[in-house]
Structure 1
Amino acid sequence: MRSMELGTPDGMRTELNSLVLAGQKTTTTGLLEDYAKETEDLEHLGERLALLDDQGQSIAVIEITGVEVKPFSEVTWEHARAEGEGDASLEEWRAGHRGYWHRLGTTVEDGTPVVCLAFRLVGD
């Protein structure tokens, strides 16, 4: 079983994982270029992934219910809101995600390809 690590292991991952476990976070967005860098295939519908904590331990199992690759500017408010991170608008979500990826060394433009994943919690 492949795994998923949300955010970065500096408190952010713990916060994001808690949102998943509470049922508030049912989507996530990643950069398509990161899949190439990590030589990873995209997730597929029905795939189950181990959700990992900061120590690399599985804390839950999620099942992929949606996979879309699209330009950053085409991410919908429905998807962004389902990330469950409390953004009040799509503009706020975009600014937060651009800032996050910028801190990690990647500039995200409107046309930057992203992977929008939807999932559901299926167990621990």
Structure 2
Amino acid sequence: MWPRIDGLRVLELGTPGELRAWLTELTLAGEKTATAGLLPLDYHAEGEEVEHVGERLVLVDDSGARVAGIEITRVRLTPFAAVTWEFAQAEGEGFRSVEHWREVHRRYWEGQGCEVDDGTTVVCLWFRVVDHGL
């Protein structure tokens, strides 16, 4: 189960350290407006339901401190091979193509112990920052 703050689910981007700091900075700057998770790794293994449009989450830093409130604006479950360039661009991480997005994400998730194939379900979340540091 994911941590909660004030009854809201917590959003931790990437892995702790440099990656999380960078992704959080991109989000607070408005450059990152989407994030991806794997249905089997991030939801089923944690016993969590997929987010829904309008849901509010708490974005936290490495220490678990709240840095912003996030509102989910769009949710799409899609096979790994069908993730779109539109989504890859919304992640705001400088991907050169959707193929580059797939290469980076496959490597990341496999590093987390989850084998990814073309049919693995990706949870594509679009969001907006609704408050900073509350």
TM-score interval, normalised by the smaller of the two chains = over 0.9
State the 1:70 CA deviation.
1.0
Q: 1:60 Cα shift? A: 0.4
From 34, 43, 57, the counterpart of 1:27: 34
> Secondary structure at 1:2's aligned position in 2?
strand
Task: Tell me which of 49, 52, 65 is aligned to 1:41.
Answer: 49
- Segments of 5+ residues of structure 1 without an aligned counterpart are none
1:111 equivalent to 2:119? Answer yes
SS in structure 1 at match of 2:35: strand
Alignment map for 1:6-21 (pairs within 5 Å): 6-21=13-28
3-state SS of 1:56 partner = coil
Unmatched segments (≥5 aa) in structure 2:
1-7
Q: Aligned-residue CA RMSD in angstroms?
A: 0.7
Structure 2 counterparts to residues 1-124 of structure 1, below 5 A: 1-33=8-40, 34-124=42-132
Aligned to 1:117, what secondary structure does the other structure show?
A: strand
Measured in 2, the distance between the counterparts of 1:13 and 1:27 equals 14
* Rounded Cα–Cα distance in structure 2 between residues aligned with 1:111 and 1:48: 29
Aligned-pair distance for 1:106? 1.2
Give the Cα–Cα distance (whole angstroms) in 2 for the partners of residues 23 and 15 of structure 1. 13
* Partner Cα separation in structure 2 for residue 89 and residue 103 of structure 1: 21
Percent of aligned pairs with the same amino acid? 56
